[in-house]
Amino acid sequence: MKTKTFALGGIHLNKHKISARIGIEELDLPDVVYIPVKQHIGAPAKIVVKSGDKVKVGTLLAEADGKVSARVVSSISGEVCKIEEINNGQGYLETVITIKREGDEFEDNMDMSDKIISEISDNRDELLEAIKNAGIVGMGGAGFPTPIKSEIPEGKKADTLIINGIECEPYLTADCRLMEEKSEQIVIGARILNKILGIQNAIIAIDENKRRSIARLRHITKEYVGVNVQPCKSIYPQGGEKQLINAITGREVPSGKLPIDVNCVVQNVATVYAVYEAVQKHIPLFRRVLTVSGNIDWNPCNYLVRIGTPISFILEKNKIQMDKVGKVLIGGPMMGQAISSLDAPVTKTTSGITVFSEQTSRKPETTACIRCGKCVDSCPMGLMPLNIRQAVENNDLNEMKKLHIQDCILCGCCSYICPAKIPLLDYCKIGKYELTKQSKKA
């Protein structure tokens, strides 16, 4: 098995994929869901329902507002209680549509059977329209609306579609399980995207340690043209968009450019599965697979949950002992964000919930930088985090620009590797924030 990897930096992590062999389980339905209108990058969706409306699963709640935006559909059937503002986990308020559950009814055109449909329509616009109507966004974490990614801007050309099944974050196994259990659907989804892009070259990139997924997908791709499997070296952050393009094609995305500038389109496997469901079964994006895992003593799980389910409900169903918990993260331990309120709902981009014990959630004491350069060696973007830290401490915006802080992908390799335990990632984060703030002002 020949594996590929990216050129610069990276670190080897203990993967902790404890839930990798646990099948996807459908979670009980919550009584109330809070569906945020902004689960993607871009403008918040425009609400089209009012309180008192009866909705079914799949009923349109909010319409895309502008080009960079995505639809939001109902994830349970019941009554719209109110449109309110709740804590989004970081303490900020966001607009949500609160729906109270009554039964579990689906919209009529949704095909909820298990039958796999492999015939793909030839009408490209029809396929794109189906994705648009389903409100699909990038489910790896960034939440960029998928239809925009699939429509190639004029003057540019795509030649490779990369399906990102790396999942390099420790603990998370949602994508891994999805690839094992829904492999055929993912391959068909990849073919749909191939058709939309007008190419015949989809590559499913998988971490080399997911041997069962690789074997399964290899077996299935034999029957389908235009989809291949490529194992990649198990190194963090292999799943970063730019790193993956570099690993698969050997091309480097220039600073400030998008993958399409090097003729690539990257989609997450969960997104591809959602595309399959939207196009072939007319199921809009109303649920997703997420991992609930962590380092305290309990049962890690992979759940199929409805979007808008409160995190507290999931943890309760998982019978977690809350007194042992020190920190709850949305996402994995490397890039996930700690949340301050468990009422925060699951969104389209929540790939996992990681729970850490009191002991491990403390940050270690920092000591002085000894300029060993380990952060420079580990940075997958070829930046110099130690110098970035200096520039950020001095609030020197010009120096930050010179150090290409805007290219930082916030992977956290530098913070992880630093022997002095300096939170270099935090400095990169403020630097980026401050530069964006300044460019907005100008």
Residues at the interface with other proteins (CB under 8 A):
85, 87, 90-93, 327, 337-338, 340-341, 361-363, 423, 426-427, 429-430, 433-434
Strand, helix or coil for residue 290: strand
Q: Which is nearer to other proteins, 93 or 116 (CB)?
A: 93
| 221-230 core/surface letters (b: 16 or more CB in 10 A; e: else) | beebeebebb
Q: Is 377 exposed, middle or buried (0-12, 13-18, 19+ CB in 10 A)?
A: middle
Find the shortest distance in angstroms from Cβ 362 to other proteins: 6
Find the shortest distance in angstroms from Cβ 441 to other proteins: 13
What is the C-alpha separation between 310 and 231, in angstroms, rounded?
35
Q: Which is nearer to other proteins, 134 or 344 (CB)?
A: 344
Please tell me what DSSP assigns to residue 322.
G
Q: Which is nearer to other proteins, 200 or 394 (CB)?
A: 394
Which tokens go with 182?
């829904």
Nearest to 248 by CA among 259, 257, 256: 259
What is the C-alpha separation between 358 and 81, in angstroms, rounded?
37
Nearest to 35 by CA among 88, 97, 89, 92: 97
Q: Which is nearer to other proteins, 82 or 124 (CB)?
A: 82
Q: Which is nearer to other proteins, 85 or 261 (CB)?
A: 85
Q: Which is nearer to other proteins, 299 or 439 (CB)?
A: 439
Find the shortest distance in angstroms from Cβ 338 to other proteins: 8
Give the DSSP H/E element, type plus range, for residue 439: helix 424-441
Strand, helix or coil for residue 157: coil
What is the C-alpha separation between 44 and 115, in angstroms, rounded?
35
Q: Which is nearer to other proteins, 127 or 325 (CB)?
A: 325
Q: Which is nearer to other proteins, 48 or 93 (CB)?
A: 93
What is the C-alpha separation between 112 and 301, in angstroms, rounded?
23
DSSP character string of 199-240: -S-EEEEEETT-HHHHHHHHHHHTTSTTEEEEEE-S-BTTTS
Asked if the peptide bond before residue 147 counts as cis, ω within 30 degrees of 0, the response is no
Find the shortest distance in angstroms from Cβ 379 to other proteins: 19
Q: Which is nearer to other proteins, 31 or 85 (CB)?
A: 85
Q: Please count the other Cβ atoms lying within 10 Å of the Cβ belonging to residue 211.
A: 12
Q: Please count the other Cβ atoms lying within 10 Å of the Cβ belonging to residue 114.
A: 6
- On whether the CB atoms of residues 233 and 9 are closer than 8 A, the answer is no
Positive or negative, the CA dihedral 417, 423, 424, 430 is positive
